Chains A and B, each alone.
Chain A
Amino acid sequence: MTRWFEDITVNEAFPLGDHTFSAEEIIRFATLYDPQYFHTDPELAQHSHFGGLIASGWHTVSVGHRKMVDALSAEEERLRGLGQEPGVSGPSPGVNAMDFKAPVRPGDTVTYTLTVTDKRPSNSIPGWGLLFNQLTAVNQRGELVYEAHLVGFSKLRDYRMPLKLQLLLALTRVPVLGKLIRRGS
């Protein structure tokens, strides 16, 4: 999925599109995952300092992730359309920082933008690279809803396995020897 690690440009901003949050979906998400009264009950929510229903931060972030996945799929389609083989995205090892800045209320439209701020080959997983991503979410009034600093895996196109690893891999293909090596590791 998406571009190869080598083709990812640092500091290029990708617009991920927007999402309008309805009261119904705010309540549905929060009922499952974050059932606090200001996320699930419009009447009781009036007593909170928000003065009404707001989306769970985890909800706005999960939608942001969905927008990112959709953008990566669209990029994959675009590359295939150009006759190129797209790269491969892997799972994420984590999130360095997530700051919730402004609440999301029913009817708010949130616009998401992704920027790769840095990249380097992974030390722990040969053949993969690490991407350091910044994701920002802004509402229709231009207020920052949240800012996230995420880490993601991306496959290297030009990776060549070191000779030692190649040799070990070849040895595991020898029937009896391979069994012993796999058992030992």
Chain B
Amino acid sequence: MTNPVTKDRRHFEDLAVGEVIDLGHTTVSKDMIITFAREFDPFPFHLDEAAAKASLLGGLASSGWQTGALSLRMLVDNFLSKIASCGGLGFRDLKWKNPVMVDDTIGGTVTIVELRRSTSHPQWGIVTLDFDIRNQKQKPVMTMRLANLVECRNPEVAA
């Protein structure tokens, strides 16, 4: 039962612990920050410069969820759309280390830290990925550990 969408992509067996994925980078505009915040995070410190200056953030900054979403987009473009990904399981230890301010450029790397076969579903493996997202000054912005399912090319081969 081959999936025609993913058959030519890298599968679980093709991945290696220690592989580093370069995410490239993306610049976060004021318009992007306000558009996301209006829909998902309408705290005054994500919408209004004066309120943002008075807050712990010290200026207009992106929602942490937007920083995560933009990091995910970079992972999809550079990795998940090139492997036989079949969805995320969740994440651990997400830390927003520094706010992302208007016109900051964020980017970084993701490292494969663990690979294991699913015990309940032999057709899948689980890839664990560590994010290291930084701004243009190389200051850390966000770290997290994400677990994602990947199709195995040969499910019948025991783990």
Name A residues whose Cβ lies closer than 8 Å to a Cβ of B: 1, 32-38, 44, 47-50, 54, 56-58, 61-63, 65-66, 69-70, 73, 89-100, 103, 125, 128, 146, 153
Contacts and interface: CB of A to CB of B under 8 A. Distances in A.
A48 B94 contact: no
Contact of B81 (A36, A65, A96): A36
B57 interface: yes
16 contacts: A32-B73, A33-B73, A35-B77, A36-B81, A47-B4, A48-B87, A57-B88, A58-B72, A66-B40, A69-B42, A89-B43, A92-B64, A93-B95, A94-B64, A98-B91, A146-B90
Shortest 4 CB-CB distances between A and B: which pairs?
A33-B69, A95-B94, A99-B90, A94-B95
B80 A97 contact: no
B90 A50 contact: no
* Chain B interface size, under 10 / 10 to 19 / 20 to 34 / 35 or more: 35 or more
B73 A34 contact: yes
Contact of A96 (B76, B86, B87, B93): B93
B92 A91 contact: no
B85 to A, nearest CB: 6
Contacts of B43: 1, 69, 89, 91
Residue with the greatest number of chain B CB neighbours at <10 A, chosen from A44, A57, A91: A91
Contact of A35 (B5, B39, B63, B76): B76
A37 B65 contact: no
A22 to B, nearest CB: 14
Given A33-B73, A34-B69, A34-B76, A94 B96 contact: yes
Given A93-B95, A96-B93, A35 B69 contact: no
B154 interface: no
A36 B80 CA distance: 8
